[in-house]
Amino acid sequence: MGRGVLYLCVESTMRNLALAVYRNEGGAMEEMVRAHQDEIYTYAVRLLGDHWDAQEVTQDTFVKAHGALSEKYSEDRCRSLALRPWLFRIAHHVASNRRRAGRASLRRSRAASGLIDVVLAGPSPGPEDALVAREKHGRLAGAVLRLSRSDQELVVLRFVEEMTYADIAAVTGGTEACARAKVFRALRKLRELIKKNEESHAM
Q: What is the pLDDT along the chain (203 residues), one digit of tens a residue?
A: 445 544 444 444 457 999 999 999 989 999 999 999 999 999 998 888 888 889 999 999 999 999 999 999 999 999 999 999 999 999 999 998 887 766 544 455 455 555 555 444 444 445 445 544 555 555 666 677 788 888 888 888 888 788 999 999 999 999 999 999 999 999 888 888 877 766 665 55
* Architecture of the 1-106 domain: Orthogonal Bundle (1.10)
Regarding the domain delimited by 107-203, which CATH topology (the fold level of the hierarchy) does it fall under? Arc Repressor Mutant, subunit A (1.10.10)
Residue 141 near residue 113 (C-beta atoms within 8 A):
yes
Domains in the chain: boundaries: 1-106, 107-203
| Per-residue model confidence as pLDDT tens digits over 76-85 | 999 999 999 9
Q: Which of 153, 161, 119, 154 is nearest to 4 (CA)?
A: 161
Q: Which of 161, 120, 167, 169 is nearest to 140 (CA)?
A: 120
pTM of the model: 0.70
